[in-house]
């Protein structure tokens, strides 16, 4: 056992100051609470649960700075023009590139407070569309990157079969394509290596009958799907399937706690209520949704109906757990023209917007990833983040205010408030540094210079 004494420790029951954690040799938490443990190693600052990241496309990290100009041939910029640039970049990547990009993205996640990630991975084939000699090559590069960095991983190989409802796949999508047998074989190959879920890309990209066959073939474990990200998608599903995406999934797919509906931006009140009743997770990616001009999820009513949510860095344009939550809250404030729209009268856990958003996202993220994370409690993995009480953004704060300071107002000016990060009982970031950061950075730089000369 390794014991720690935190100045301030966030448990499900609230803050304890000081708080003690005993970490077992297998990297799980044996005990956590206010009871004194003699000889415990001191941790200055605020110790909080690591945040799960429920939606990532790791290789998009290499697009930062190169997709924010008006694209040739487009009068305005939308998701669709961005997608063209993404396809061009993706088609040039080899396995080494994929691993290098993922490692940098995952290191950025650790440094921002994410300690686990669900990787929505759809690049399966060679650039010409032929399978690799090892069909799991690209997926296993993601697994390797996660191991190098030390982040928890739920692998979500993506099933992609069409270019729209009733449409053949685009030529640019040739690296994504697998038939059901090939897809199920990939899932089984990955199972011994890492937590695995299934990810039918969307109702646009996976025909309804194929989706239902997939669900019958894999009756357990996480299911992630893009749903209602754009109004065009909603209209296409209504025309082709007779129902909007979430409406169709509620009626036909048996939504329950294993499901994460990524984005769910353009859904009706009835659809949001159905998601809440089903116990499904709304997979919100506020920074990406803002970057792509997708729209805004209406969190207030969903949250008050008991709806569960988590956050994802998605396109990895800006990787930051606190910034995702801040964008989520500020978007709600702009829409409602009110402040603190997710809070309710009660106690510290319900009246603090930072605490409400942080608690909701960590719990929903843990459910989405199907990993024993999201809280500091016995039996769960010891995924901890230490916020530096000497960081300028947090100076003068108390346990009562620190999450509001970090989530609602905290910036990077004067230094990142995330000082130390533990995953599975092992310190992977100490004093803002990772043991492999120089190698990871050098490999990432090589990829960026080669693909963006």
Q: Which amino acids are annotated catalytic?
A: 263, 314
Q: Which of 257, 258, 303, 268 is nearest to 284 (CA)?
A: 303
Q: Which two tokens stand for residue 253?
A: 């797919």
Residue 325 in contact with residue 358, Cβ under 8 Å? yes
What does the angle CA 44 – CA 49 – CA 55 come to, to the nearest 5 degrees? 135
- Tell which phi-psi region holds residue 76, choosing left (phi > 0), alpha (psi between -120 and 50) or beta: beta
Whole-number Å distance between alpha carbons of 112 and 146: 16
Helix pair angle (321-336, 353-369), 10° resolution: 120
Whole-number Å distance between alpha carbons of 355 and 248: 34
Element containing residue 5 per DSSP (H, E): strand 2-11
For residue 28, give the 3-state DSSP assignment. strand
Question: What count of Cα atoms within 13 Å lies in the side-chain half-sphere of residue 422?
Answer: 24
Q: Which of 323, 294, 352 is nearest to 418 (CA)?
A: 323
Element containing residue 137 per DSSP (H, E): helix 137-149
What does the angle CA 278 – CA 280 – CA 281 come to, to the nearest 5 degrees? 155
For residue 65, give the 3-state DSSP assignment. coil
For residue 175, give the 3-state DSSP assignment. coil
* DSSP per-residue codes, 187-254: HHHHTTTSEE-BEE--TTTS-HHHHHHHHHH--SS-EEEEES-SHHHHHHHHHHHSS-HHHHHHHHS-
- Which residue carries 């879920």 as its tokens? 197
């Amino acid at each position: 056992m390794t014991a720690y004494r935190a100045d301030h420790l966030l448990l499900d029951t609230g803050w304890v100051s000081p708080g003690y954690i005993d970490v077992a040799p297998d990297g799980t938490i044996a005990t956590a609470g206010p009871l004194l443990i003699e000889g415990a190693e001191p941790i200055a600052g605020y110790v909080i649960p690591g945040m799960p990241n429920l939606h990532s496309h790791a290789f998009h990290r290499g697009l930062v700075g190169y997709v924010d100009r008006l694209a040739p041939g487009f009068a305005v910029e939308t998701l669709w023009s961005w997608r063209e640039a993404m396809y061009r970049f993706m088609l040039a990547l080899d396995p080494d590139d994929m691993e290098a990009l993922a490692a940098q993205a995952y290191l950025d996640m650790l440094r921002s407070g994410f300690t686990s990630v669900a990787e929505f991975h759809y690049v399966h084939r060679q650039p010409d569309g032929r399978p690799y000699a090892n069909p799991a090559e690209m997926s296993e590069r993601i697994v390797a990157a996660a191991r190098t960095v030390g982040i928890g991983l739920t692998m979500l190989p993506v099933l992609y079969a069409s270019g729209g409802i009733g449409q053949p796949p685009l030529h640019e999508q040739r690296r994504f394509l697998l038939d059901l047998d090939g897809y199920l074989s990939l899932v089984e190959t990955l199972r011994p290596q890492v937590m695995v879920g299934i990810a039918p890309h969307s109702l646009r990209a996976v025909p309804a009958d194929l989706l239902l066959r997939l669900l019958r073939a894999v009756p357990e474990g996480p299911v992630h799907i893009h749903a209602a990200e754009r109004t065009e998608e909603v209209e296409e599903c209504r025309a082709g399937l007779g129902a909007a995406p979430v409406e169709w999934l509620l009626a036909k797919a048996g939504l329950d706690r294993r499901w994460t509906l990524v984005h769910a931006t353009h859904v009706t009140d009835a659809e949001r209520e159905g998601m809440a009743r089903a116990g499904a997770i709304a997979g919100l990616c506020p920074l990406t949704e803002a970057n792509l001009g997708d729209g805004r999820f209406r969190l207030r009513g969903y949250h008050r109906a008991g709806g569960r949510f988590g956050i994802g860095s998605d396109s990895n344009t800006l990787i930051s757990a606190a910034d995702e939550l801040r964008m989520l809250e500020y978007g709600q404030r702009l829409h409602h023209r009110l402040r603190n729209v997710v809070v309710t009268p009660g106690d510290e856990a319900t009246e603090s917007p930072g605490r409400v958003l942080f608690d909701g996202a960590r719990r929903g993220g843990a459910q989405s990833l199907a990993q024993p994370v999201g809280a500091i409690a016995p039996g769960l993995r010891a995924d901890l983040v230490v916020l530096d009480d000497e960081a300028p953004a947090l100076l003068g704060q108390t346990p009562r205010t620190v999450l509001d300071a970090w989530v609602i107002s905290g910036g990077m000016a004067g230094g990142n408030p995330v000082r130390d990060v533990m995953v599975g009982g092992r310190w992977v970031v100490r004093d803002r540094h990772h043991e492999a950061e120089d190698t990871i950075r050098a490999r990432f730089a090589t990829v960026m210079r080669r693909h963006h000369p």
